[in-house]
Structure 1
């Protein structure tokens, strides 16, 4: 991107800005540097693309915090149709069935692509991919990395892929404050960083800014996740959908930290149970859909009962072998999951709604695209099925890139 002394004086939002220095991007500008944004940028190769990120790559993104893994029907007893059925059931009637089938059908190929990029997913003694079980899945189909380090591993892969792709330019320490439009649609991004504000001129902007959980008092999200993409899209005139649908994860570690450490649903997939402080069962089915479990725990708390996760009998001293990052978080709080009940409570975790997009990621504003958690694709409905978010980010980023390249 080369600086220019040109000024802007065109209709629409550009005309309200006065005289600003313009930088001309050679191709699309990606706003955000989590899994969805970096994979989209990489998949756009060999077309030039610029990624702008307010933080250094790998920092302040929800991707890196994802523990549960990525869901895909790759097991010998599984099928994408079963994955689709589970997704539709969890979505409580608000999923788009065509989108669900399309994304779940693409799951196995998405895993193959991530492996080709260098993802180190967990494997069993026979070398086959290890598959975990999470809530509302009828099969073991969740792939992990380093037990509970799945998001961190996929983010590592995405960062490395973007950095080694010559067509991708990454600009760190720059924040988008407005998507600019003119009579033809998107015209650029108003950005700020260490120096004065400037315009990055482009006809294609891809929003990949993540969610909005950082706005909540109890959250598992980075506090920097404040719905920036949603705000940018609305100010640009884009339609949004289902923004009231925010998923609360049932088991955030309740030890007074903000944000709250997550205790992955995969822990319950390995047999841990949810109980009150007295040891009584807190839910009927600890592997029900997240909204069901979260409501049950909230009801118990409203009735005056503390809620806890009990992994002592099922995992015990093996807890750290399966979930090293979670064990580390517990020990930092003075808890030993092999012998202690873990205090947990529901916390804001994932935004199902967002910027309305079509199957390729187009919004209702020409030239504006969205992908990842900030987008509303129709996959999740009213309640996201566990570990479908990393799948959506991978599948939809590739589709967006393929459409933009055409």
Structure 2
């Protein structure tokens, strides 16, 4: 058994921020960071647009950023969480700059602040169109110079270790559920190992792979959310899945290439099959309306005209500025024979971000003791029913810092070592047919896309739940009889995520934010956050 003082699951901006801070605070203590592939393969890496923060005090203010976030969240944001993130965010950005992150500047040497949908001011710091990748680089380079951090690649976390694994009955009513560490599948040895930890942070990312079309990398399988649910922890608001309005339309390609919202912030115009700029018909903010509104408008236009995509018109934009700000988008389009300065770019919505997740308080504490969560796997209350563009990277840094502060305040280096049983694999055999896993994954992604997408209704949700029940039974039987593999674990986790999304959508008898049900179009003053 490996023993560590601090265990971090995930190597995106949330996990790395926390790891660096606790390692520097406790230079004689051990910090282990686990990732199931390479350290830089995270959702953070694929964040294009930028990080929002009040930077230009002469024009912008905390009050404006707070108001924009609350409006986008459609009445379900936790006002305290919004205030925390907005007011503490700029300090966290400054720390990242000190770590070496390079945000774009204008000719005068000032940071070039971008505009995105739902924002009332220019407040988006960015590094061309690969902001997340640049932030990840700065954090990883800092981590590599921190000697008491051990980075463990190619390790798949199977389950959280709680009293349940020691023979105790644990239910959602259990008051003192405690996390003692994790069971992991070492992909190099193919053995299940156990890691005991004094404090554990889940920063395991999102769950976009539950849908057929997503901007998320293949690793985004909702592992942390599913593990906490199995451990009887609290999950909330999973019905709010954000579909990014403008993923590059390439039939059969997954994950989808993202056309950042910043392109519309710089003047890009959405057009339908007839070439009409249709957004003025849906919202007075036109192409810069919040993402839920833009995604539903595109979905409506696609269904009305019988097309599989709409168009993004950038032909009128300054070529030099476009190439400077969006070099990767420009190169990607050219590789497909699309010159953005001469041709429309085909775009369609794709699953992008989970606004719900593991329920946490204002210090990133979950309902399970000694377990923190931050980043996309967590539900902090910031996003409510819809995420404001570029708030996610800010949220990850702020709550990673707060988790660090809480850790320092409550750390007990003399905590007793709890005897943890070995993983029990008796009675299991090697899987005979991988098609049982791959086909179930295809079925899951198909039913979630067809029945639980941008627009829903009660019949579709009912059908989705029936099919999910069958997939769950088949997969659990497979799990009980075959040896653990990453593919099987990811399928199991995604089925759990699908169930949570559908169950939350069935409970919410209203349309709000990212959840739009044609059978319940009106908002309800009675429905608040739905915890499962």
Common fold by TM > 0.5: yes
1:167 aligns with 2:148: yes
Greater Cα radius of gyration, structure 1 or 2: 2
Moved more, 74-83 or 133-142: 74-83
C-alpha separation between the residues in 2 aligned to 1:255 and 1:347? Answer: 11
C-alpha separation between the residues in 1 aligned to 2:88 and 2:263? Answer: 27
1:36 aligns with 2:39: no
CA contact (8 A) 1:282 1:307 kept: no
TM-score, reference length from structure 2: 0.70
Offset at residue 23 of structure 1 (A) = 1.5
Counterpart selection for 2:184 from 191, 199, 207: 191
C-alpha separation between the residues in 2 aligned to 1:56 and 1:259? Answer: 17
1:386 corresponds to = 389
2:293 corresponds to = 292
C-alpha separation between the residues in 1 aligned to 2:335 and 2:272? Answer: 23
Task: Note the 1:333-348 alignment, pairs <5 A.
Answer: 333-348=336-351
Give CA-to-partner distance per residue, 1:231-290, whole Å, 9 cap, x none.
111112210000111000100000222111000010001111000132111211000000
Give CA-to-partner distance per residue, 1:157-200, whole Å, 9 cap, x none.
11111111122111111111000012761111001112211110
Question: Which structure 1 segments of 5+ residues have no match?
Answer: 1-21
C-alpha separation between the residues in 2 aligned to 1:80 and 1:357? Answer: 23
C-alpha separation between the residues in 1 aligned to 2:196 and 2:88? Answer: 34
CA contact (8 A) 2:317 2:341 kept: no
C-alpha separation between the residues in 1 aligned to 2:126 and 2:320? Answer: 20
Offset at residue 134 of structure 1 (A) = 0.3
C-alpha separation between the residues in 2 aligned to 1:227 and 1:127? Answer: 40
Task: Note the 1:299-314 alignment, pairs <5 A.
Answer: 299-304=300-305, 305=307, 306-314=309-317
Give CA-to-partner distance per residue, 1:19-75, whole Å, 9 cap, x none.
xxx2111x121111111101110111233321011111112x111111110000111
2:427 corresponds to = none
C-alpha separation between the residues in 1 aligned to 2:34 and 2:320? Answer: 44
1:3 corresponds to = none
Counterpart selection for 1:271 from 263, 267, 271: 267
TM-score, reference length from structure 1: 0.92
Task: Note the 1:2-401 alignment, pairs <5 A.
Answer: 22-25=1-4, 27-44=5-22, 45-47=24-26, 48-59=30-41, 61-75=42-56, 76-145=58-127, 147-182=128-163, 185-193=178-186, 194-195=188-189, 196-256=191-251, 257-284=253-280, 285-304=286-305, 305=307, 306-316=309-319, 318-401=321-404
CA contact (8 A) 2:101 2:134 kept: yes
Higher strand share: 1
Question: Which structure 2 segments of 5+ residues have no match?
Answer: 169-175, 281-285, 410-532
CA contact (8 A) 1:352 1:380 kept: yes
Higher helix share: 2
Number of residues paired by the alignment? 382
C-alpha separation between the residues in 1 aligned to 2:111 and 2:324? Answer: 17
C-alpha separation between the residues in 2 aligned to 1:154 and 1:80? Answer: 23
C-alpha separation between the residues in 2 aligned to 1:111 and 1:322? Answer: 20
C-alpha separation between the residues in 1 aligned to 2:197 and 2:132? Answer: 31
C-alpha separation between the residues in 1 aligned to 2:148 and 2:374? Answer: 20
SS of 2:85's partner is: helix
SS of 1:199's partner is: strand
Moved more, 214-223 or 348-357: 214-223
Offset at residue 318 of structure 1 (A) = 4.1
Moved over 4 A (4+): none
C-alpha separation between the residues in 2 aligned to 1:338 and 1:317? Answer: 10
CA RMSD between the two structures:
1.2
Offset at residue 227 of structure 1 (A) = 0.5
SS of 2:45's partner is: helix
C-alpha separation between the residues in 2 aligned to 1:317 and 1:154? Answer: 25
Give CA-to-partner distance per residue, 1:106-126, whole Å, 9 cap, x none.
122112111111110111111
Using a 3 Å threshold, how does the CA distance of structure 1 residues 320 and 277 change in structure 2: closer, same or farther?
A: farther
SS of 1:138's partner is: coil
C-alpha separation between the residues in 2 aligned to 1:365 and 1:376? Answer: 14
C-alpha separation between the residues in 2 aligned to 1:350 and 1:227? Answer: 11
SS of 1:186's partner is: coil
C-alpha separation between the residues in 1 aligned to 2:25 and 2:87? Answer: 27
